[in-house]
Amino acid sequence: MSEECCGPREPSTVRDLDIPRDTDTSAVTSPAAALVNTDLAPWWRDRALALPALSGVLLIAALIAIAAGADGWPATALQAGSLLAGAATFVPGALRRLASGSLGVGLLMTIAAVGAVLLGHVGEAAALAFLFSIAEALEDRAMDRARHGLRALLSLIPETALVERDGAPVTLPASEIVVGDLLFVRAGERVATDGVVEGGRSSVDTSAVTGESIPVAVEAGVTVLAGSINGTGSLRIQATARGTDNSLTTIVRLVEEANSRKGTRARLADRIARPLVPIVLVLAAAIIGFGFLIVDPELWTERALVVLVAASPCALAIAVPVTVISAIGSASKLGIIVKSGAAFERLGSIRTVALDKTGTLTRNQPTVVAVETATDVTRDAVLQIAAALEAHSTHPLAAAVLAEQPDHPDAIDVVEDAGRGVSGLIDGTPARIGNTRWLNAGALNETAAALADKGMTVVVVERDGRVIGLLGIRDELRPDAAEAVAQLQASGIRTLMLTGDNARTATALATQAGISDVRAELLPADKAHAIEALAAESPTAMIGDGINDAPALAAADVGIAMGATGSAVAVESADVAFTGSDLRLIPLALLHARRGRRIMTGNIVLSLAIIIVLFPLALFGVLGLAGVVLVHEVAELVVIVNGVRAARLPQRSL
């Protein structure tokens, strides 16, 4: 396995980090692990399915008894038992909600079952109770499965961690880790909480947390996330988050909150379902009244009960929630955290994507990408002088120069002229380094202009009053940026860049990424105004990571924060956060949301169609109670199964 892929390889030892080999880490259980349920019980051991199953068994036994000619009290007793077992799952809840002034689908089913019994149709009432109870239980199980898959993310946190306390390593429950603790992580172990590497070198697999497919090389100063798997080396990590409040627990919290905040389609379904219940009750009462008017109350009361069941919005009530939680929960496995159902729905409608430059399209790590020299001057000589001076500078670009030339001579009498450059003496010779506004590039002016046209920040290096070279420094484009932009454009999504950087640099990088619409030198308020104008034309998403992006993220139809490197303000302002930095997750997320949106729409249409079709059939006696119940509950199961399909993730073309 190459170092380029997985980072530097080193022996899997712990001695260099003073981690005792004989420390026992198997004896303590973490409360974080207690938050994760054990494996979801198989359906045959699911207690919630026990009563519906009993109802079904008794109903089948009753049908067998009737077929065998025992259609007297044995069959009736079996039907009654089936009715009681099924009704026990929804009648108590319906009555409690009624007492609190809330009408629900369960009330319609309760009234229909009671009415059927009063009319002597115990078998039909039993069938209604069984099918409704089994549909409700399967719906709950589908929701539990989606939630369980999400909560299982917490199992990525190890139960224990080896932590330094009072100068000695101690094995503690992961939940007891506090900010500032020093964690020792051996090769192959999971990281217990977020932190910064303080010692050691290795590579970490973050695929389960961020969706990154390639292990990332880490060394001192690099941030690692909870749940990451350490590679071949040993690491000392200083905790930056508590064991119970880290990136993984935040993911779970955000996604669970998303389930409680429904989107516009969910509200549409509720707006239809809630008034439909009292409307159906009034309609059923009117049908019964009509029966008394024409002196045939028994027939029309029976039809009223059938209408009651036919028009109940069971499927409509679950059409969206099961889809939303399935889709959002599965997206979290790729490090795509959607904060609300509304955001998920809007994500599926996006037609324009605006991207910030620094830290989003670029690495946010300035790098020396070009060194131009005067005649008779070597590249190494230019870098030596530049690094000697920049070693005394606090400017962000100084780190790029020092990374390119870590070994350099010492400079003395160094003076930094803020915003311009640095001067000093190197081996007794005066030298300066600074921007082109401070130092004239002289004979290298044309070269400086060419570097600037390529999106580089140009730094002039001078020795003993003579310009000896130029450094071209640039925040390089992320390697996946161009591919991500191409995928967006292939999907018919308009892309543009919004940045506060200068127009020359922004245009050069945008050209590399394949973006033709560039809006540069924007203040945070300007970005927000640009997003508002774009959103007025079509649904728009803004993608950023900095504090200055927060207003634009909040103004967009969907704000997407690059959470791995983004500021806390940006993440809080956004509707969607990526825990990783792979921009190819953007088209993947949009594709996933579009599919989920189509499934939601299909579920709502199917639910309404069932009501529209069954209503006249029930009213005019074409279908009886048993037939309506069967069709209605089968349709509800179809809606649930269709909603669960939203959990399937699109194929990654990475």
Which residues are designated catalytic? Answer: 356
d(CA 113, CA 136) in angstroms, rounded, equals 16
d(CA 365, CA 355) in angstroms, rounded, equals 18
The answer to whether the CB of 359 falls within 8 A of the CB of 476 is no
Q: How would you class 377 by CB atoms within 10 Å of its CB: exposed for 0-12, middle for 13-18, buried for 19 or more?
A: middle
Token reading at 378: 């070597």
In Å, how far are 347, 368, 385, 422, 465 from 411, measured between CA atoms?
Answer: 54, 21, 9, 11, 16
d(CA 471, CA 459) in angstroms, rounded, equals 5
- Residue in this structure with the two tokens 């009960």, named with its chain if needed: 305
Q: How far apart are the first and last CA of the chain?
A: 20
What are the residues facing 236 on neighbouring strands?
A: 184, 199
If phi > 0 it is left, if psi is from -120 to 50 it is alpha, else beta; for residue 169 that is beta
C-alpha 120 chain-centroid distance: 53
3-state helix/strand/coil string of 507-537? HHHHHHHCCCCEECCCCHHHHHHHHHHHHHH
Within 10 angstroms of residue 613's Cβ, the number of other Cβ atoms is 14
In Å, how far are 129, 140, 251, 340, 640 from 333, measured between CA atoms?
Answer: 38, 22, 10, 16, 22
- Residue in this structure with the two tokens 């060394």, named with its chain if needed: 219
Q: Look at residue 367 and give its three-state secondary structure.
A: strand
d(CA 533, CA 613) in angstroms, rounded, equals 44
